[in-house]
Amino acid sequence: MNKTIIVSNRLPLQVKLENNKLDIKPSVGGLATGMKSVHADGNGIWIGWSGITDEELTPELSKDVQTAVSKEKCVSVPLNQQDVEDFYFGFSNKALWPLFHYFLEYAEFDKNQWESYKEVNQKFADVVLANVEDGDTVWVHDYQLLLLPKLIKDKKPNTSIGFFLHIPYPSYEIFRVFPWREELLHGMLGADLLGFHTYDYERHFLSSVKRLLKLEVRFNEISYSDRIVKVDSFPMGIDYQKFHNAALKHAQHTQVEKTELHRRLEDHMQSSPDAKIILSIDRLDYTKGIPNRIKAFEYFLDKYPQYREKVRLVMLAVPSRSNVDTYQKLKRETDELVGRINGKFATVSWTPIWYFYRSMPFDNLIDLYTSADVALITPLRDGMNLVAKEYIATRVNNDGVLILSEMAGASIEMSEAILINPTSYEEIADAIKKAIEMPVEEQKSRNHILQKRLARYSVEKWAEEFFKSLDATKTIREAIVAK
């Protein structure tokens, strides 16, 4: 029986090693949810790194990891510390991530790290090749594995290979800067179907292929040696019901069932019923536009002083890649800005910004989403942005206002939100005012449309559409062979 193999940098598991004891839990991320039905189906497997380096494992523990992950239908790719340093923190996050998000000034193109990127992609390929058979389908995810499709296709041409990029694909003028640009494109073109979040990313990719590789492109199909590679956009959705139902349940929690955060937020609302909560949630990443958001909030408090003590920005920043220096700098800048603005405006009874630098459990995430009158999401670049969609899914009474950056892929499907240019403090400040003053009826009518759309195009639907399209490429391949 043919099977489906999912490949991503990390396995959908949280693997912890404490006192030589393994603790393995399924992770709850969006991708894991979207793939759940595919992964649970038949004899499919998921290949990726467990999060534990070779150096941390004795041969015995290494066997234990394989046995434990295989119970979850996963196979782990062994990576050593140097791989993680050069391939992940190095090339993936210091070259590809900034380049693809238009942060050229942060991109470092280090030849040794590029070599490591190639070696690690080969390590992933070795594990895939040891598990794949003719007729199987392989779905590769994200920017850490751009070379993998070709490494598989070259050895196993009779497999269907899909690739999905979770981050933006930059315009040709940005991509052409990359020193190993042709090799990277050839790596991606090993796939039969390449998926992007938006039509613009798809268009940018096709333009790079045309201009750098001089390949023939007809609509969204590329003639590549004796194959046709299809390119399409598949905007990723969320597990809508999970967020919506959690919010419904949240509203019925008894005093004992409420989390500490829930109670604190309720106290806040009771003590100042007119005060509005503006929420932002993101990984602490320079692409997410955190400093410009804080500065825009300062601008708002300066421009509209009547709202001082009437609004609070609750900002959750999840620690991310904290051993990369640009992320450390961003952390310092964020801490300083929050401190400065709180110092400038705070009164004995009011702190304008509540800033949490940590990861929070799902229940607390729901506490925050459901308590927020406004969600302020201002990335400078973002492949999609699922937080915007999750906020809308939790608005069980249909109220609440989403302010969303035009630079997030999600803005294409969420035009009922207040869309802003994240570099304009003026626009953000005016959007905050508009959001706070928006009549409830208008909030509801905007959110009603958004919710209907999000419920329909869920993450399961996204995976289903991708597979349908990948299956169709199989039919085209068979027709070409038959000719």
Q: Which residues contribute to the site for ligand ADQ (CB under 6 A)?
A: 30, 166-167, 236, 281, 283, 316, 318, 359-360, 365, 382-387, 390
CB of 375 to ligand ADQ, least distance (A): 11
Expressed in angstroms, the distance from the first to the final Cα of the chain is 27
CB of 364 to ligand ADQ, least distance (A): 8
CB of 369 to ligand ADQ, least distance (A): 9
CB of 24 to ligand ADQ, least distance (A): 19
Q: Which is nearer to ligand ADQ, 167 or 301 (CB)?
A: 167
CB of 387 to ligand ADQ, least distance (A): 4
CB of 372 to ligand ADQ, least distance (A): 13
Q: Which is nearer to ligand ADQ, 312 or 321 (CB)?
A: 321
Residues 6 or more apart in contact with residue 216 via CB below 8 angstroms = 222, 223
Strands 221-224 and 217-218: antiparallel
Radius of gyration of the chain (CA): 23
SS (H, E, C) the chain: CCCEEEEEEECCEEEEEECCEEEEEECCCHHHHHHHHHHHCCCCEEEEECCCCHHHCCHHHHHHHHHHHHHCCEEECCCCHHHHHHHHHHHHHHHHHHHHCCCHHHCCCCHHHHHHHHHHHHHHHHHHHHHCCCCCEEEEECHHHCCHHHHHHHHCCCCEEEEECCCCCCCHHHHCCCCCHHHHHHHHCCCCEEEECCHHHHHHHHHHHHHHHCCCEECCEEEECCEEEEEEECCCCCCHHHHHHHHHHHHCCCCCCCCHHHHHHHHHHHHCCCCEEEEEEEECCHHHCHHHHHHHHHHHHHHCHHHCCCEEEEEEEECCCCCCHHHHHHHHHHHHHHHHHHHHHCECCECCEEEEECCCCHHHHHHHHHHCCEEEECCCCECCCHHHHHHHHCCCCCCCEEEEECCEHHHHCCCCCEEECCCCHHHHHHHHHHHHHCCHHHHHHHHHHHHHHHHHCCHHHHHHHHHHHHHHHHHHHHHHHHC
Q: Which is nearer to ligand ADQ, 184 or 407 (CB)?
A: 407
CB of 410 to ligand ADQ, least distance (A): 7
Q: Which is nearer to ligand ADQ, 22 or 360 (CB)?
A: 360
Q: Which is nearer to ligand ADQ, 301 or 459 (CB)?
A: 459
CB of 31 to ligand ADQ, least distance (A): 7
Q: Which is nearer to ligand ADQ, 57 or 365 (CB)?
A: 365
Decide if 330 contacts 284 (C-beta within 8 A): yes
Q: Which is nearer to ligand ADQ, 12 or 153 (CB)?
A: 12
CB of 447 to ligand ADQ, least distance (A): 18
- Residue environment code for 256-291, b if the CB has 16+ CB neighbours within 10 A, otherwise e: eebbebbeebeebeeeeeeebbbbbbbbbbbbbbbb
CB of 392 to ligand ADQ, least distance (A): 13
CB of 318 to ligand ADQ, least distance (A): 4
Q: Which is nearer to ligand ADQ, 202 or 382 (CB)?
A: 382
Q: Which is nearer to ligand ADQ, 278 or 301 (CB)?
A: 278
Give the pair of three-digit tokens for residue 227: 């194959």
User: What is the rounded CA–CA span in Å between residue 11 and residue 31?
Assistant: 10
Q: Which is nearer to ligand ADQ, 196 or 345 (CB)?
A: 196
Q: Which is nearer to ligand ADQ, 281 or 301 (CB)?
A: 281
- Whose structure tokens read 């050593």? 80
Q: Which is nearer to ligand ADQ, 222 or 247 (CB)?
A: 247
Give the pair of three-digit tokens for residue 263: 């109670």
CB of 83 to ligand ADQ, least distance (A): 22
